Each structure stands twice: as structure tokens, then as C-alpha cells.
Structure 1
């Protein structure tokens, strides 16, 4: 009887041992899976950190480029305003010159009419005023071109 009890006890121990061994093997498989998952998460984390660093570097570079473009746009805007001012000034000067030429032409016509220029051929007077007007026009065009170049 004792032998039967010892045998039963040993069978129970073996069964219990097999169950524990089976649980231990399942736990080992779970740990291997968990370890693989942790390794994959570490790789994903490194990849994410690398991508984050690259994105940060690209953002910094883009910000620098944006700042450069803004500075260039400001300079161009300033130059544009200066050119517009210069053009306006030259346009005013041109209009003023036209008015002066017109006034001089009127004076010439009055002088011709009053015959004060008896020694001067009357055909030469309009040519002289036209010549003055052409020279002044050329000077203004030249100044306007210089302003546009600036």
C-alpha cells in the first residue's frame, strides 16, 4: 500500500512536473515573442528618431531659405519703390520740359509775328526750338534709362 501511495505520489509529481514544464515552455515562448516585439519597437523608435532629426534639419534649412527669400523680396520691393519715385520724378521733369518748350515756341511765334528777328530767317526759328526740344528729350530719355537701370 505504501508502495502504491509512493507510486501515486510520484505519478502526481511527474504530472505536476510536466504541467510546470509545459507552462515554463509557454512562458519562454511568450518571452521570446515579447523580446522580439521589444526589439522591433526599439528599431521603430530609432527610425522615428532619425526621421524626426531629418525633418528638423529640413525644417531649419527651409526656414533659412524662407528668410533669404523674404530679405530678397524686401530689397526688390525697396528698389521697386525707388525706381517708381525716380520714374515719377523724370516724368515730371519731362512734362515740365514739354511745357517750357511749348512756352518757348509761343515766344518764338510772337517774336516772329512782331518781326523783331528781321535778320534771322523765319524758317530757322521753329527748327531751333525743335532742336532744343529734341536735345532736352534725349537728355530726359537718357536720365530715365539710368533710373530704370538703377
Structure 2
């Protein structure tokens, strides 16, 4: 499968992400996101990043002897990247989408010093039911390694219109 050439890209820093997602630190799990537009909605994708440091609040309280990022927070980073893509690709105004299904498989954890990269794309959008997939990678001294993948389904009630209306 070849990627479409992006028509435009939108770079979001933490302040813009916080405003878009209505999530603030410390629960904002991303440093930045770049949303790239393709020719069709399923050609759009988003790349999120998070640099893990010993100062991150969760390392002090979750398996502090090994300093492992909680899997739920890795999943949250995946969700935030996908929702950034959804909100940038479809005008939601003040409306929100809700997670109706998620399935995440992680091959390993994430630790201090790693740079996480989240790659999200939309699989489908049918009358307000959006399906997307997110892959997460960690940059390590030996290169980039896959951490896991998630399949997600969102419902956007304000987009749920009946055919012909």
C-alpha cells in the first residue's frame, strides 16, 4: 500500500493539543502531533510524539524500580493521536467523539529516555462511526522498535444522520 502525498500538514504543539482535545497536562500524553491531509479521508494520518524523561510523573508511582510507563498511558497516547486526526479532518466544532471499542496489543513497555512515536490513520467513516488504527514505536539507540498497535472505534453522535436527511 503506498501513501498518498500529503496535500497539507498541521503541526500541533502541547498548547494547541490541549485546546483541541480539552485535555491538560499531566494527562496530555503527547508533546506534539503533525496531521497530514491526503486526497481522501482514509489518506489522512497523524504522527504524535512523546519524549519520556525521568521527570514524568508516572515513573515515580508505577513500577518505580524499572521506570516503566503504564500501558494505559501508552494507550491514552494512541487515543489522543487518533482523536487529533479525527478532529482535524472532520469539523466537530464543540462536539466530542466517544470511544466505543478498543483493542490494543503491546509487544513491550516504554521506559525513561525513549522517544515514542504514534502513527494514526483512519480506516473508515460511516455516518459518524469512525474506525482508526494507531501504531506506536520507540526510538532506541539500536533504531526504532514497534511497541504495539491499537484498533479503535469512535462514535460522533452529531454526525449520525440517516441516509437522505
Q: Same fold (TM over 0.5)?
A: no
Greater relative CO, 1 or 2 (CA 8 Å, sep 6+): 1
TM-score when normalising by structure 2: 0.19
Structure holding more strand per residue:
2
Structure holding more helix per residue:
1
TM-score when normalising by structure 1: 0.21
